[in-house]
Chains A and B, each alone.
Chain A
């Protein structure tokens, strides 16, 4: 029962019944950075954007009112906690659920803004995120069907089959759609144009950390070395 990849050392397990969390330096580092960033978000205030107006020399300040600010901060904290959970979980299906939660919360962070363009982009991103649940859960279900378990600590001991490779490719496609990285980035880029900077940055950070983590999971499942 060893899960040493990327030259890591296993520091310990946290067995919670069926769900076993495992701690390796990479996972712990990403977990801690997600939590640290969430703490920064929880205590910070939102920015005010200044937009230049056409035709005059005036500027226009775009502020976020207090009610919207509170909702956004809450959702950003949920997103940070979900990211931290996805970093340290040792269970494929927990990972997919955390990724889905990140996707839903990302939509929620920009849902209350007043700009129509941003809402349009959020709608497109939401459609992609919802379509991406098919490969995400489908891939996890195929890995479950091929190995009989969803615990990464068990999967690491099972020789790779074609079904597992296909399932992990589907899983990767699902994560790419859900977090809105490279092929789907165009849907997400417009979302950042709304004011409220520190809360929007969690959208970036969560997708970054989740991609690193999904590559680790793919290495565990496929065992190329």
Chain B
């Protein structure tokens, strides 16, 4: 089966001819990453350089350029991220075992007790959260979640109360239920589609926003902080 059968005639020949150069670009990026890994001696640099090879993989998948390929890029990206997280976790736990003592989650060289950390975060968080609410849906959730993360990370010095995390996780669960109810309404009572749409959109907005609450719960459990 030749390529002309598979590619519809509306696609311009320039786009079709870009496929082979894109494949070679992906392979070349991978080879450059491998050469860089072979040259260096530091474990952390090896881990970061491995990510370049993953970018080469994304280029090769994206070169196909159909909507099927588009839906395949997302799992590829997720797999790449999951592997880099798992390996960096191993690297961290190995270094902790070698040192033989506990270390901070984010080791800082100096005490960051600046005034800007107490005044600015509230303002930034309010702007980000209101803009996220205006966007709604998945994107809005990510923006508003970024706002909450900024707020929490900058107030970490003074200690965030532990009850707050429980509440955040609970609200996240309820929001997810809203999202599910929205979907059920879509299938069961299609005439109420507007209600279902709003339930789903704002459910996922709150859900993604409070996903960041999980970071707080995990941080408290791992590092025994209030």
Contacts and interface: CB of A to CB of B under 8 A. Distances in A.
Contacts of B91: 123
B26 A138 contact: yes
B79 A104 contact: yes
Contacts, number: 114
A141 B79 contact: no
Interface stretch (B59-67, B140-148, B175-183, B196-204): B59-67
Interface stretch (B92-100, B114-122, B126-134, B208-216): B92-100
B224 to A, nearest CB: 15
Interface string A115-143: 01001101100110111011011101110
Nearest to A94: B75
A119 B93 contact: yes
Query: What range describes how many residues of A lie at the interface?
Result: 35 or more
B171 interface: no
B61 to A, nearest CB: 4
Nearest to B43: A123
Interface stretch (A1-9, A50-58, A106-114): A106-114
Indicate the size class of the contact surface on chain B: 35 or more
Interface in A164-218: none
B57 A111 contact: no
A159 B79 CA distance: 31
A142 B79 contact: no
Contact of A111 (B26, B43, B54, B93): B93
A167 to B, nearest CB: 10
Nearest to B84: A130
Nearest to B33: A131
A134 B69 CA distance: 15
B89 A144 contact: no
A111 B90 contact: yes
A39 interface: no
A107 B27 CA distance: 26
Contacts of B83: 100, 103-104, 107, 126, 129-130, 133
A161 B1 contact: yes
Nearest to A99: B79
B69 A144 contact: yes
Given A104-B86, A141-B64, A93 B80 contact: no
Contacts of B56: 134, 138
Given A145-B64, A147-B1, A104 B82 contact: yes
Contacts of A122: 90
Nearest to B34: A131
Given A104-B79, A120-B94, A127-B50, A134 B72 contact: no
A145 B80 contact: no
A85 B91 CA distance: 30
Contacts of A103: 83
A130 B97 contact: no
Interface in B1-25: 1, 6, 19, 23
B80 A142 contact: no
A126 B57 contact: no
A133 to B, nearest CB: 5
B53 A126 contact: no
Interface of A: 93, 97, 100-101, 103-104, 107-108, 111-112, 114, 116, 119-120, 122-123, 126-127, 129-131, 133-134, 136-138, 140-142, 144-145, 147-148, 150, 158-159, 161
Given A144-B68, A147-B1, 8 more contacts: A104-B82, A119-B94, A131-B30, A131-B33, A138-B27, A141-B64, A144-B64, A158-B1
5 contacts: A111-B90, A123-B90, A130-B51, A133-B53, A145-B19
Interface of B: 1, 6, 19, 23, 26-27, 30, 33-34, 37, 43, 46-47, 50-51, 53-54, 56-57, 60-61, 63-64, 66, 68-69, 72, 75-76, 79-80, 82-84, 86-87, 89-91, 93-94, 97-98
Closest CB pairs A-B (n = 4): A138-B60, A126-B87, A119-B94, A134-B57
